[in-house]
Amino acid sequence: MAKTAVIGAGVMGLACAYELLKRGHSVDVYEADDRVGGMAAHFDFNGLNIERYYHFICKPDHYLFDLLKELGIEDKLRWRETYMGYYYNGDMYDWGNPIALFKFPKLGFIAKFRYGLHAFLSTKRKNWQPLDNVEASDWIRKWIGDEAYNILWKRLFALKFFNYKDNLSAAWIWSRIKRVGSSRKSMLQEELGYLEGGSETLLYSLEQKIIMLGGRIHLSTLVERVNIETKQVQSLTVVGREEKFDHIFSTVPLPYVSRMIPDMPADYRSRYESIQNMGVVCVIFRLRKGVSRNFWLNVSDESMDIPGIIEFSNLRPLPESVVYVPYYMPRDYPKFANDNAFFIAEAKQYLKHLNPKLCDEDFIAEHASRYGYAQPVCQPGFSKVLPPIKTAIKGLYIADTSYYYPEDRSISESVNVGKKMAELADL
């Protein structure tokens, strides 16, 4: 029985540990946080148990569906008709379907046709490789033209990717369009999914299954170092002591790898360190009344430094309206240094601007979470940047959300990559 360690108890790490246990490994999972889940973890929001960062399920998320069935919790999956809006320079519009596009007054007919055609064909495309080396903003402009790009995409890119906005992989942006565009009940109606009880339903089931199969999960336990000798893993240094392992799987963000594995070969280290990440400050509010009927509201307004909001209660039924306001930015961007109170106050003003009927008394509770490495920046040719998951060090396997490429971050892709990692141990 191989003695195996998994570093990180997000969904990827838990899925990896579960698959390893099924394959006969002895597994220890190490997590620096005080709970499992990573960015899918829940917290107590003034009596409401909910995710720190929002998640939703789309119709193409088959890796997740397979796992839910295997765990016996597929009956917890629910689908709901959802709506999208677009707030542009002081006005809110319906969005996300052909009629809304036709009625949108800020674009001419040709621009609308080109935009709609691009969205439709993106959902039908199956092969992403030809887009791997293509720059995303050039690709979108080519299809929809400057008029539609400047109104619908330019500010969104600027607020989500900052100085990387003109150096993104078209394959990566295409996968986002396809995943959401394919999650529809009909051409006119979007339909998204959620789990009863939230992401914690999946996390609890995975955690219990891992324990039942003999795995051990160590919370609030930081891995200080991965020890290597003669190009082979030997042990982990954890809380000042060494634990020997035959295999070690790291699922923590790649920026931590060089510090955690100082003996990593230089070529691997340079490739890991070349991958850039966006941080996030995610503000969440509980409100007595909603901002709008939309699950997501894209925002393009010069007075607001956010690309949009997620009104989560318009997907998962909750006692009050719950709204997430995410700020994406590089960790070294000056605004990121502001405290949580700053972001909460600003986001509160934004919501009141989006819905002038909201007043201070409508805000029941607020909270902010932040994560330094929330979103890898996938530049053109990204598939060639990533080192293999199975490294040149015998017994060492490394991946994070960068390895979802060209797919975007999702719980389903976490399950997929976690399972793929475990399979490599037997090769």
Q: Mind giving me the DSSP string for 228-249?
A: EETTEEEEEEETTEEEE-SEEE
Same-domain pairing of 256 and 283? no
Strands (E), 56-148: 77-82, 84-88, 91-95
Same-domain pairing of 101 and 186? yes
Structural domain total, the chain: 3
Same-domain pairing of 94 and 179? yes
Q: In the prediction, which pLDDT does 1 show?
A: 81
Matching residue, tokens 């070690």: 248
Last residue in a domain, options 192, 207, 227: 192
Same-domain pairing of 249 and 302? no
- The enclosing domain of 183 has a CATH number of 1.10.405
Structural domain boundaries, residue 360: 277-376
Same-domain pairing of 20 and 49? yes
Q: Are the beta carbons of 85 and 314 closer than 8 angstroms?
A: no
Same-domain pairing of 17 and 106? no
- The enclosing domain of 222 has a CATH number of 3.50.50.60
Q: Point out the residues of the chain with pLDDT beneath 70.
A: none
Same-domain pairing of 207 and 113? no
Q: In the prediction, which pLDDT does 282 show?
A: 98
Length of the chain equals: 427
Same-domain pairing of 105 and 186? yes
Last residue in a domain, options 192, 216, 241: 192
- The enclosing domain of 341 has a CATH number of 3.90.660.20
CA distance 93 to 86: 5
Render pLDDT for 5-31 as a digit per residue (tens, 0 to 9): 999 999 999 999 999 999 999 999 999
Q: Are the beta carbons of 380 and 133 closer than 8 angstroms?
A: yes
Q: Is residue 75 one of the residues assigned to a domain?
A: no
Q: In the prediction, which pLDDT does 192 show?
A: 98
Q: In the prediction, which pLDDT does 383 show?
A: 94
Residue 145: count other Cβ atoms within 10 Å of its Cβ. Answer: 18
Render pLDDT for 41-71 as a digit per residue (tens, 0 to 9): 999 999 999 999 999 999 999 999 999 999 9
Q: Is residue 74 one of the residues assigned to a domain?
A: no
Q: What is the pTM of this model?
A: 0.96
